A and B are shown apart, each in its own frame.
Chain A
Amino acid sequence: MTTIELKIFRFDPDRDSVPYYQQYTLPWTEGLTLLMAVRKVYETIDPTLGFRNFFCGRGLCASCLMTVNGSTKKSCHVVLEVGREYVVEPAKGYPIIRDLVVDYGAKRTDSLLGIEYNVMSGTMI
């Protein structure tokens, strides 16, 4: 067997009343990372999959945080093993925008000036 299985969390608050999981089968290649696999799903199987394509791809920026089999990791550093199934969910601790996309900036309201602004809420893990 030269494939991997991804079971990906799907949720569009505009369309879905509850989240669900969708199964994708991908060909496995040497050195395939989780981020590359999710991109591959978007590119070749399902354009509706929401994920953040802003990434350095090398473990610096942490824009690609995803929860894989229960723990939140930088997906560009998760090298996938042939034949295995991975459950892929959004990064824990952030509000979900859609599917795997989370809001990294938490809005804060300045009571004195009555305006909202974003601050860095996440830290590197």
Chain B
Amino acid sequence: MFEVRKTDILVIGGGGAGIKAAITAAELGKEVVLLSKGPLSRTGITPVAGEGIEASVNPGDSVQMHYQDTIRSGRGLADENLVMALAADSVERIKELEAYGAKFKKNDDGTFATSIRPGQTLSRNLFIKGGGWGLAASLFRRLGDFPNIYLIDSAVVTKFLQTDGRVIGVVYLNVATGVVEVIQAKATILASGGYEELWPFTDTPPDTTGETLPMVYQIGAQLIDLEMVLYYPGVVVYPPAARGWLVQYEYILNPEILGGRVLNGKGEVFVKGFPARDEFIRAVRNEVKKGTGSPNGGFYVDLSHSPYDREVITERLRSWLHQYSNLKNVGIDIRDDKVEMAPAAHYCLGGIKIDEMGHTNVTGLFAAGEITGNVHGANRMSGNALSETQVFGRRAAITACGYADQQTLGACDFADQVQREYRLIASWKQEKPKALRPIALKARLQQVMDQYVGLEREGESLQEGLSKVRELRMVELPKLSVVPHRRYCYEVQEAYEVRGMLDLAELVIMSAMSRKETRGHHFRVDYPHTDPVPYHTTIQWSKDGHTLGVMPVAKIDNLEDVK
């Protein structure tokens, strides 16, 4: 026996984009099911985001300037129609967040307090109190207003269901109960976030495994620029209690806020000015290559030479850098202690290709947020990720609702699909002679990705990485073994995750091989040049197998015409 829950709109992903999509669809009067891997506002990537959200609210700023800055920061690879949607809608979405109860840092006159980030011609980053957590919590509060949203907060999607080429829902495992269930929906919105967990060092939570990407790939979704992984330069590597914590270098280096500096392993200043993320990464990489990096392959943050008094620094740390008190809680004082930081996988620029209304190329499937691939290009401006969740979460939901109006829920038999999942889980629970835990297989994959598909890429080593990933999939994956518990069996979730991670890793490596140039966050040692005309790399599953291609970047002719 299993449950088939029928609904108008299915939303997969409990982060900023998913919750916004669910709220929007509920406002339009639809029945919504929201699937999340974990409890809302305590899971996904949004709660760990910094406090910056970008919108042109300041006097003198404009949608056009937000647009231009984002295009420039994307190193030519951002689709112009999507960036225009982002810039045009974000101001309105901020007002909605305020109505949901999100608190923003304000000036004495009631206007938004902002800070400038690399790439911005004008200070444009609003400050959400409580950071990404504050944003997620306000969305979650708003969600509670809608009795037409049903939330399942321990759901791991295992398969997308299709009829006549249309997506009609998913099979999922409820991890809390160990039961496999089905959601049948008129329209499905995928907002399940990035795949940073393919790499060993990230500042994102461990559930950012991206296993839904190969699932939609298998039903024909076109994936785009998968090789583009944004590294954040400043993530703590030492002391260990704070390993993986992002500390905004944008505040440390900003001469008007903290006036700090960053030092290499020999105590020398190696970064001047206020570099964008891809430029900073390049500088760190150079130090490490020269042998002047810090012991863990990074650099040090130093506030001792700041032009400001200790009291001023303390006050500004309290007011701007929410990590300051978190670090103090584990015994680290960033004012005095040498904190060692290094680049970590922070945001996946690539993903599913969408248009400005959140359509994918698969009928019945819509997408929004970090899982989409052509919004930011080859480098993302700080603050645009949270704006993206709100803008595209809402757009995808409106589109999906319009589509759902044309659909009916047919009678389908899903028993085979459910049985298939139970058989797979049973096979993992069988005792095996050379058992391998999912967590061990994840670690091995991460080592391969770090070694062959890290900050620097090169043709031969990518090829070697691809062979190693395929070997893991063919030789090691069948050894997967999990504990026999039914209730909250996290190892089963991890087994699904690592199966998807292995598939996805192959797609990422093939995409990295096909981009034979250096652009933004993709560094090819063997192709250090940047091609004059930017192009997207695409990968799609067809009857001929993996099909790689390129696609021009979408252009808009007249900025004034587009909204």
Q: Count B-side interface residues using an 8 Å CB cutoff.
A: 49
**A8-30 Cβ-contact flags toward B at 8 Å (1 or 0):** 00001111000000000000011
**B309-334 Cβ-contact flags toward A at 8 Å (1 or 0):** 00000000000001100100111000
Query: B134-149: which residues lie under 8 A (CB-CB) from chain A?
Result: 137, 140-141, 144, 147-149
B131–A60 contact, CB under 8 A?
yes
A105–B323 contact, CB under 8 A?
no
B241–A31 contact, CB under 8 A?
yes
Query: Closest Cβ of chain A: how far from B43's Cβ, in Å?
Result: 4
CB neighbours (8 Å) of B131 from chain A are 60
Chain B residue at minimum C-beta to C-beta distance from A102:
B39
The 8 Å CB contact of A60, one of B133, B207, B239, is B133
**A49-93 Cβ-contact flags toward B at 8 Å (1 or 0):** 011111111111111000000000000010100000000000000
CB neighbours (8 Å) of B47 from chain A are 56, 60-61
Whether B41 sits at the interface, judged by CB under 8 Å, is yes
A97–B487 contact, CB under 8 A?
yes
CB neighbours (8 Å) of B459 from chain A are none
Bound-state Cα–Cα, A61 to B242, Å: 15
The 8 Å CB contact of A57, one of B43, B137, B245, is B245
B39–A105 contact, CB under 8 A?
yes
CB neighbours (8 Å) of A50 from chain B are 485, 487-488, 490
B439–A43 contact, CB under 8 A?
yes
The 8 Å CB contact of B487, one of A55, A98, A118, is A98
Q: Count A-side interface residues using an 8 Å CB cutoff.
A: 46
Bound-state Cα–Cα, A104 to B41, Å: 10
B487–A54 contact, CB under 8 A?
no
Chain B residue at minimum C-beta to C-beta distance from A31:
B241
**B231-251 Cβ-contact flags toward A at 8 Å (1 or 0):** 000000001111011000000
Bound-state Cα–Cα, A49 to B151, Å: 26
B141–A118 contact, CB under 8 A?
no
Whether B182 sits at the interface, judged by CB under 8 Å, is no
CB neighbours (8 Å) of A63 from chain B are 38-39, 42-43
The 8 Å CB contact of B151, one of A30, A61, A118, is A118
Query: B312-360: which residues lie under 8 A (CB-CB) from chain A?
Result: 322-323, 326, 329-331
> Helix, strand, loop or mixed for chain B's interface?
loop
Whether B552 sits at the interface, judged by CB under 8 Å, is no
A32–B133 contact, CB under 8 A?
no
Given known A-B contacts A14-B485, A98-B488, A58 and B147 have beta carbons under 8 A apart: no
CB neighbours (8 Å) of B148 from chain A are 113
A30–B240 contact, CB under 8 A?
yes
A119–B39 contact, CB under 8 A?
no
Whether B124 sits at the interface, judged by CB under 8 Å, is no
B144–A58 contact, CB under 8 A?
no
Query: Closest Cβ of chain B: how far from A53's Cβ, in Å?
Result: 5
A98–B207 contact, CB under 8 A?
no
A120–B144 contact, CB under 8 A?
yes
Query: B239-265: which residues lie under 8 A (CB-CB) from chain A?
Result: 239-242, 244-245
Bound-state Cα–Cα, A33 to B240, Å: 9
Bound-state Cα–Cα, A54 to B47, Å: 11
Bound-state Cα–Cα, A14 to B176, Å: 12
Whether B205 sits at the interface, judged by CB under 8 Å, is yes
B144–A119 contact, CB under 8 A?
yes
Whether B150 sits at the interface, judged by CB under 8 Å, is yes
B330–A31 contact, CB under 8 A?
yes
A115–B147 contact, CB under 8 A?
yes
Given known A-B contacts A48-B483, A56-B48, A116 and B133 have beta carbons under 8 A apart: no
- Report B's interface with A, CB cutoff 8 A: 37-43, 47-48, 130-133, 137, 140-141, 144, 147-151, 153, 176, 205-207, 239-242, 244-245, 322-323, 326, 329-331, 437, 439, 482-483, 485-488, 490-491
**For the complex of A and B, 8 pairs with smallest distance between CB atoms:** A31-B241, A63-B42, A54-B38, A104-B39, A56-B48, A54-B43, A98-B488, A118-B151
